[in-house]
Amino acid sequence: MLLAYRNLSQDKTRLAISVIGIALALMLILLLNGFLTGLNRQVTSYLSNSPGSLVVAQKGIRNMLGATSLLPQGVVADSLAIEGVEKVVPILSQFVILDLHDKKQPAYLIGYDPDSGGGPWQLAAGREPQTDSEIVFDEVLAKRHNLQTTDIFKLMGESYTIVGLSKGTSSWMTSFIFVRKTAIEKLLRIPQTASFLLVVPNNGANLEELSARLDAITGINAVTKTEMAANDISLFSKVFSVPLRLMVAISFLIGTMVVGLVIYTATVERQKEYGVLKAIGASNGTLYRVVIFQALIAALVGSVAGVSFALGLAKLIMVIRPQFLIVLNLSDVAWTLVTGIIMALAAGFFPARVVARLAPATVFRK
Amino acid sequence: MIMLSVHNLFQNKIRLSISIGGVALALSLILSLNAIFAGVEEKITAYINNSGADIFIAQSGVENMHMASSSLPAIVEDEVKTISGVEFVTAINYVPNMVVVGDERNLAYIIGLPPDSKLGGPWKIFKGASQPKAGEAIIDRYVAEKSGVGIGDEVEIFGRQFVVAGLSEETASLVNSFAFISRSDFSTVRGGANTINFLLVKARPEENPERLAETIEAQLGNVTARTTAAFSMLEKKVVKDMSTDVINLMNLIGFLIGLAVMALTVYTATLSRRSEYGVLKALGARNSYLYTTVIAQALISVVIGVAVGTIFTWLVSKIILGLGLNLTMNITAISLAKVGSLALLIGCFSAVLPIRQISKLDPATVFRGR
């Protein structure tokens, strides 16, 4: 152990560069996972904070952010008549592309009735919309584009006055903005319609049974909010999982190569000393352990540095670009440390071969 | 000098392979992400570019299709037809929805087409009809295969059953696909028979599409008219604007990782040849000669790294395609130029530490046997 440590720390510059290399690779893995976790949390923020436990959507639609749902007429009354339903909150929603300072920004527009609910759950400034020409903007999006309450904002040819700024509604992909439901009906030319109903059940109502009763209404299906959120996450995961896995795999390979390069160089440089150890009777097993210990030390220091880098950079990114949410879970950190160990074991392969092939006589010939 | 760099570099092939591999992978991190977003841009504009239209007309203030909504009164179609320079017009309905087969749910952009539409339909048919009749749907071949359906089978769209009449190609991406039904069906299930979402215009051959788009906007007032090329560019801009921050961050991390790997390689290669550099110094070689040797060594490594990284990324893109993941990766000349420039920077920066080592090197070292 001590020999491994001395061998490794003999050249501090090399050790420092290698630790940085490993740390950067692991930091990238951690950041990418944290980014996806944050995105998942952001895309489901509306479902997590809006009223009700069930969502009624057009038949065949079981997620909120992917497909556009349009409910048949009369579904509000039909749903209210179902046993176990206490309240129904209709919303009309649609993805829109905002033009903000020559930048295209997707946003999820929610039309709601302030008397029923389904609007912003926390206001950082201002109030809810009282007329069809008023809008509540996401606080982060507004700040990024120097928008504030009383500013006029143009959306799909219509002018809206920003009357409120909402909190917790920001996302890199889908910041939420809110208008009255009647305003969006006019904007999309679909009067008296709703995309979804947020269903608040009576106390003690069984969600599964209630969902089945709602399903009996023609042209709709009821989905629990938990399932709908999971479906939205799965949709976004579909978009990001392949690129993300690719990046993680490349980062893992890079980290392994960096550890490998360091340990290999350190071993080759000390070939003579390993020869001496062999000559005085050290077994291959002992020498392997020395090599593997070196790899483990480098990987462990690199992993700890990587986690620290990731924590620091995540904070920095969220300050500079508040639309990004990077959530670093304890389990991700643990996995990163495990990844570091796997890297070390994989990287120890080549140097171990060098040691294994070493003839003890080498030392006496030189 | 170049020969000396090459000899020094290739002397230990395992170390060279590991370091080139490391740099290549770091560069391929950058290249892959750029290629993924370039592929998304290509896929996202496939419908627009293959629509056959010269001009797209949308609701005022709407300049996109994806993640956007446009709604126009049906009467606009007749108004556009009367404008001089317009050859013909196709009104389409469009909304994101699902193509459902049992438990298999596929996100799809549903296009409602009028009978015998000349524009906006599927542009490449694998099998079956190219125009959907009432009760029929044309779905993407990949979606059909994944869901286990073929011509004559039923799929659910908007909660209603449709018979698959045709299978289209090039209409699927990683996330969604296009499906085509008749406009009459679209209106029945979605309501709003008097509403259309987009108008696709074919200009007369002698007409300039840009000028015609301006005329349409001026004459109709409350609409947005863009040439297909401009509409396609605006669509790409959504992806570009959304991805800029992520790509920049990834480029920076890739650059730093590449730099660390390269610095490590050049540093260890120089360190192990310290006595030889000492001999050269003792024989009268100038510091500048040795610096150039180290820089050349770093640059040769990164040039090989760029080549290996590009081949690796290209291979990954082919493997992903082969796995049927519908993720297109486009390695563009721009991203290659970007990666090349970053690699040059990496090469130059990574030589800093070894240069410092050499400058401090005492020529007498060699005689002392150190």
Closest chain B C-alpha to A93 CA, distance in angstroms: 11
Say whether A257 and B21 touch across the interface (CB within 8 A).
Answer: yes
Interface of B with A in 97-156 (CB under 8 A): 97-98, 100, 105, 107, 156
C-alpha–C-alpha distance, residues A329 and A30, integer Å: 9
In this structure, is residue B294 part of a structural domain? yes
Backbone angles phi, psi at A105, to 5 degrees: -130, 115
- Please indicate, yes or no, whether residues B138 and B177 belong to a single structural domain of this protein: yes
Tally of domains within chain B: 2
Give the pLDDT confidence score for residue B368 in this predicted structure: 57
Cα–Cα distances in Å, from B5 out to A262, B10, B11?
21, 8, 10
ipTM: 0.76
**DSSP letters for A151-186:** -EEEETTEEEEEEEEESS---SS-EEEEEEHHHHHH
- Please indicate, yes or no, whether residues B166 and B274 belong to a single structural domain of this protein: no
Angle B352-360/B287-322 helices, nearest 10 degrees?
Answer: 160
- Which secondary-structure segment (H or E) carries B98? strand B86-101
Q: Where are the beta strands (DSSP E) in chain A?
A: 54-58, 85-100, 103-112, 123-126, 134-138, 152-155, 158-166, 175-180, 196-201, 220-224
Beta pairing class for B72-73 and B195-196: antiparallel
Cα–Cα distances in Å, from B112 out to A60, B115, B120, B271?
18, 10, 9, 69
- Please indicate, yes or no, whether residues B129 and B92 belong to a single structural domain of this protein: yes
Give the pLDDT confidence score for residue B184 in this predicted structure: 92
The reply to whether B14 touches chain A by the CB within 8 Å rule is yes
Residues from chain B that touch A26, judged by Cβ atoms under 8 A, are none
- Please indicate, yes or no, whether residues B178 and B295 belong to a single structural domain of this protein: no
- Please indicate, yes or no, whether residues B16 and B97 belong to a single structural domain of this protein: no
List pLDDT tens digits, range A270-296.
Answer: 777 777 877 888 788 887 888 788 778
C-alpha–C-alpha distance, residues B102 and B99, integer Å: 10
List pLDDT tens digits, range A106-161.
Answer: 899 999 999 999 999 999 999 999 999 999 999 999 998 899 999 998 888 889 99
User: How many Å separate Cα B128 from the centre of its chain?
Assistant: 30
- Please indicate, yes or no, whether residues B150 and B118 belong to a single structural domain of this protein: yes
Assign 3-class secondary structure to B141-169: HHHHHHHCCCCCCEEEECCEEEEEEEEEC
C-alpha–C-alpha distance, residues A91 and A194, integer Å: 5
Cα–Cα distances in Å, from B40 out to A239, A253, B238?
10, 26, 11
Give the residue, B177 or B294, on which the prediction is more confident: B177
In this structure, is residue B18 part of a structural domain? yes
Q: What is the residue range of B152's domain?
A: 61-221
- Please indicate, yes or no, whether residues B161 and B210 belong to a single structural domain of this protein: yes
List pLDDT tens digits, range A184-216.
Answer: 999 888 888 899 999 999 988 899 999 999 999
Could you state, in order of their start, the residue ranges of all structural domains in chain A? 2-43+240-365, 72-218
The reply to whether B324 touches chain A by the CB within 8 Å rule is no
- Please indicate, yes or no, whether residues B166 and B314 belong to a single structural domain of this protein: no
- Please indicate, yes or no, whether residues B123 and B208 belong to a single structural domain of this protein: yes
In this structure, is residue B236 part of a structural domain? no
- Residue A247 pLDDT greater than 90, yes or no: no
List pLDDT tens digits, range B336-350.
Answer: 888 888 888 887 877
Give the pLDDT confidence score for residue B303 in this predicted structure: 87
Give the pLDDT confidence score for residue A363 in this predicted structure: 55
Range scoring the smallest mean pLDDT among B60-64, B79-83, B260-264: B260-264
- Please indicate, yes or no, whether residues B68 and B16 belong to a single structural domain of this protein: no
In this structure, is residue B51 part of a structural domain? no
Question: Among B221, B256, B281, where does a domain finish?
Answer: B221
Say whether B33 and A28 touch across the interface (CB within 8 A).
Answer: no
List pLDDT tens digits, range A324-362.
Answer: 889 998 888 888 888 878 877 777 777 777 777 777 665
- Please indicate, yes or no, whether residues B254 and B336 belong to a single structural domain of this protein: yes
Q: Indicate the average pLDDT of chain A.
A: 86
C-alpha–C-alpha distance, residues B53 and B47, integer Å: 10
Amino acid at B35: A
List pLDDT tens digits, range A34-76.
Answer: 888 888 888 889 999 999 999 999 988 888 987 889 898 899 9
Can you tell me the mean pLDDT for B321-349?
Answer: 83
List pLDDT tens digits, range B225-256.
Answer: 999 999 999 998 888 887 777 777 777 777 78
Give the pLDDT confidence score for residue B54 in this predicted structure: 97
- CB of A39 within 8 A of CB of A240? yes
Give the pLDDT confidence score for residue B322 in this predicted structure: 83
C-alpha–C-alpha distance, residues A341 and A298, integer Å: 10
The reply to whether B73 touches chain A by the CB within 8 Å rule is yes
Backbone angles phi, psi at A127, to 5 degrees: -145, 180
- CB of A159 within 8 A of CB of A153? yes
Beta pairing class for B160-168 and B136-140: parallel
In this structure, is residue B353 part of a structural domain? yes
Give the pLDDT confidence score for residue B370 in this predicted structure: 46
